Amino acid sequence: MASKIYDTGIIELIDGTELYLTPLKIRYLREFMEKFEDVKKASGDEEAVSALAECARVAMKQYYPSIKTIDDLEDSVNLPTIYKILDVAAGIKVDADKNDEGVKEQATQSGSSWETLDLAKLESRAFLLGIWKDYEELETSLSMPELIAILESQNEADYQQKKFLAAIQGIDLDEKTGNSNANAWEEMKARVFSGGKTNDPNDITSFQGYKAQQSGFGIGLGLDYTDLTKQ
């Protein structure tokens, strides 16, 4: 069965318009995550919902630019639809039927963070492919799952080439290096997918999004977890 780079979704606006959703391109994700900081600072669920609605409004810049204000958003979608937008856009998961967890708690536990992610370094590696004329075009073209998938393929291709050249000289590169480059890459991916919570590729918090889909299981794909440090 073919694997997927990311999940998609379809929502229907109140007027009947259907929108096809994919993860936000990095250009919009930057602004989305800045607004998401207000969710973390919210004093309660009511403020958190308002902040999440603002995040959804930012997402509509990609999905349906004619929705420009919160009033436009409220006239176009209901709250469950907003939650679906947040899930596809940035992996922010809120289940309105969970009575034992508040909206703020659910959102902040599932939300990613820029704090430990060197995005400039990741983009610089992708930019070397020579596909984009500048970084603005790259950020407009790629979502985070797409960027990670490209870099993963690039990293694997580079390593296999080095391994082949080493083998010609009778050197087992895996044995010689312990595949340290691959290990460092796995640790970086773990930081990305866990929202900065771990460097361990085997930690369950790193099995999210693209990595979960590749593995066939993970958080949001048959598994859930509770962050005990927040209790």
Q: Quote the domain boundaries for residue 78.
A: 9-110
Half-sphere exposure for 179 (CA within 13 Å, toward CB): 12
The answer to whether residues 129 and 66 belong to one domain is: no
pLDDT of the residue at 217: 47
Domain boundary among 46, 75, 110: 110
Structure tokens at 107: 């959102």
Alpha carbons 32 and 13: distance in angstroms, whole number: 21
pLDDT (0 to 100) of residue 1: 43
Instruction: Please give the average per-residue pLDDT across 66-88, as a whole number.
Output: 96
Q: What are φ and ψ of residue 64, in 5° steps? A: -160, 80
Q: Is the pLDDT of residue 120 over 90?
A: no
Residue 3 domain-assigned (yes or no): no
pLDDT reading at 172 higher than 60: yes
Query: Given a cut of 60, is residue 204 above it in pLDDT?
Result: no
pLDDT at 222 over 70: no
Nearest CA-CA partner of 56 in 78, 144, 44: 78
Asked if 124 and 220 sit in the same domain, the reply is yes
The reply to whether 75 and 146 lie within a common domain is: no
Whether residue 145 sits in one domain with residue 68: no
Q: How many residues does the chain have?
A: 231
Q: CB atoms < 10 A from the CB of 2, how many?
A: 3
Examine residue 151 and state whether it is found in any structural domain, yes or no: yes
The answer to whether residues 125 and 61 belong to one domain is no
- Where a domain ends, among 46, 77, 110? 110
The two structure tokens encoding residue 113: 């963070």
What's the CA gap between 115 and 97, in Å, rounded? 30
CA triplet 145, 215, 201: central angle to 5 degrees? 75
Counting the structural domains of the chain, the total is 2
Look at residues 110, 133, 156 and tell me which one is the last residue of a structural domain. Answer: 110
C-alpha–C-alpha distance, residues 106 and 173, integer Å:
44
Q: Do 33 and 99 reside in the same domain of the chain?
A: yes
In sequence order, the 6+-apart residues with CB closer than 8 A to the CB of 210 are 5, 6, 145, 148, 149, 193
Based on the fold, state whether residues 221 and 128 are members of the same structural domain.
yes
Q: Please check whether residue 219 lies inside any domain of the structure.
A: yes
Phi, psi of 131 (to 5 degrees): -85, -30
Instruction: Give yes or no: residues 141 and 101 share one domain.
Output: no
Whether residue 146 lies inside any domain: the answer is yes
Based on the fold, state whether residues 50 and 76 are members of the same structural domain: yes
Q: Evaluate if residue 96 carries a pLDDT over 50.
A: yes
